[in-house]
Amino acid sequence: MKITDILQSKPATLSFEVFPPKTDMKYEEVMGAVAKIATLKPDFMSVTYGAMGNGARKYTLAVAKEVMSLGVTPLAHLTCIDSDKEDVETKIEAFREMGIENVLALRGDIPPDHEGFRDYRYASELVEELSRDGHFCVGGACYPEGHPDSPTLFSDIDNLKKKVDAGCSFLTTQMFFDNDIFYSFLSKCRDSHIYVPIIAGIMPVTNGSQVKRSVALSGGILPSKFRRIIDRFGSDPVAMRQAGIAYATDQIIDLYANGIKAVHVYSMNKPDVAEAIRSNLSGII
Ligand code: FAD
């Protein structure tokens, strides 16, 4: 089923993200986690595409196929920064043959040793290609605090509008820890005539070092309420797990209460975390 149809057919949705194994040795472990998360019956599961040089890439399709066989709609990620047209056409053909209907079209991060663009510079070029014949429901990434490469949030939103005009039917946000940042972003997007559904991306932070990595990657802001949690519980794994799940749950409930219909949880291949969030929301969604 296409993600836009899922979003339209339900008053509220909850989806989870998984990432493929980086090595063959981790394959069974990851597939086990994927199967457990699928039993929670999320509205869809996204499957990431490894960054350049990351061995996880070759498994995106296998994990997406597994998700499908478990009765859950997969959203396969695809990046283009280090690909040429031929690579991308091969990937798109493989998605089509496997029955994948939903693709998150991404540029990918520019590596530090980048020596110039190949056939793609921006995700919008991949979006255009994927959406050409209407077979795929194509999504894109967006950044409530602005993409780190963009000089301002407004210029990033102008570029986001170009990506949507190229054929994005929905957007998923980078993680954020302060819902007010998301509400403000949403309103700026609507003011800029971006009307596609925007799925709120929530990361349950369950250990102190993970948050430092995640925030460094996203360039996001940690609100003081959350910072105090990390300071107090970051070095105690049991306490941090409980506090991180509670904080993410609180964010999600606030989003639904404010009329946000779609929440995507960066569940990081942790079925116990996905299950705890699902259970905390059992009477709500
Ligand atoms: P773009 O939309 O191309 O934007 C990149 C930058 O270029 C932005 O600053 C934008 O403002 C600017 N820009 C865009 N169009 C134009 C234009 N026409 N003119 C001038 N400037 C322009 N990475 C992975 O490697 N694998 C994954 O699976 C993955 N999944 C992700 C999922 C989500 C929900 C998110 C939020 C990110 C994900 N990423 C993933 C990370 C992503 O690849 C990086 O954030 C990357 O740096 C930007 O990708 P993009 O698709 O947003 O790029």
Q: pLDDT (tens digit, 9 = 90+) per residue, 128-146?
A: 999 999 999 999 999 999 9
Encode 35-58: b = buried (16+ Cβ within 10 Å), e = exposed: ebbbebebbbbbbbbbeeeeebbe
Contacts of 165 (CB under 8 A, 6+ apart): none
Nearest residue to 130 (alpha-carbon basis) of 82, 74, 170, 91: 91
Query: For residue 51, what pLDDT band results from cuts at 50, 70 and 90?
Result: confident
Choose the residue to mutate in 18, 22, 130, 147 for probing ligand 1, maximizing ligand atoms within 8 Å of C-beta: 147
Indicate the range of 86-90, 102-106, 215-219, 241-245 predicted with least confidence. Answer: 215-219
Overall residue count recorded for the chain in this entry: 285
Task: Measure 138 CA to ligand 1 centroid, in angstroms.
Answer: 14
Q: Whose CA is nearest to atom 6 of ligand 1?
A: 149
Query: Rounded to a whole number, what is the distance in angstroms from the first to the last CA of the chain?
Result: 20
Task: Measure 237 CA to ligand 1 centroid, in angstroms.
Answer: 32
Ligand 1, residue 147: give the atom nearest the CA: 9
Q: Count Cα neighbours of 200 within 13 Å in the Cβ-side half-sphere.
A: 30
Indicate the range of 216-220, 235-239, 257-261 predicted with least confidence. Answer: 216-220
Q: Which residue has the higher pLDDT, 107 or 217?
A: 107
Task: Measure 218 CA to ligand 1 centroid, in angstroms.
Answer: 11
Is the model's pLDDT at 178 over the cut of 80?
Answer: yes
Look at residue 211 in the predicted model and tell me its pLDDT. 76
Q: Whose CA is nearest to atom 11 of ligand 1?
A: 156
Q: What is the mean pLDDT of residues 183-200?
A: 98
Indicate the range of 25-39, 90-104, 162-176, 211-225 predicted with least confidence. Answer: 211-225
Cα–Cα distance for residue pair 94/91, rounded to 1 Å = 5
Do residues 45 and 17 touch, judged by C-beta distance below 8 A?
yes
Strand runs (DSSP E) across the chain, as ranges?
A: 13-18, 45-47, 74-79, 102-106, 137-142, 170-173, 198-202, 262-265
List residues near ligand 1 (CB under 6 A). Answer: 48-49, 51, 77, 79, 104, 106-109, 122-124, 141, 147, 149-150, 156, 159, 162-163, 172, 174, 201
Q: pLDDT (tens digit, 9 = 90+) per residue, 58-83?
A: 899 999 999 999 999 999 999 999 99
For the record, the structure tokens of 70 come out as 């478990």
Active site (catalytic) residues? 17
Q: 0.85 exceeded by the pTM?
A: yes
Look at residue 53 in the predicted model and tell me its pLDDT. 67
Greatest mean pLDDT among 104-113, 157-166, 212-221 lies in 157-166
Strand runs (DSSP E) across 98-153, as ranges?
A: 102-106, 137-142
Q: Residues of the chain with pLDDT > 70: what percent? A: 98
Q: Whose CA is nearest to atom 7 of ligand 1?
A: 122
Cα–Cα distance for residue pair 215/23, rounded to 1 Å = 25
Look at residue 217 in the predicted model and tell me its pLDDT. 65
Q: Whose CA is nearest to atom 38 of ligand 1?
A: 141
Is the model's pLDDT at 56 over the cut of 90?
Answer: no
Task: Measure 175 CA to ligand 1 centroid, in angstroms.
Answer: 13
Task: Measure 229 CA to ligand 1 centroid, in angstroms.
Answer: 30
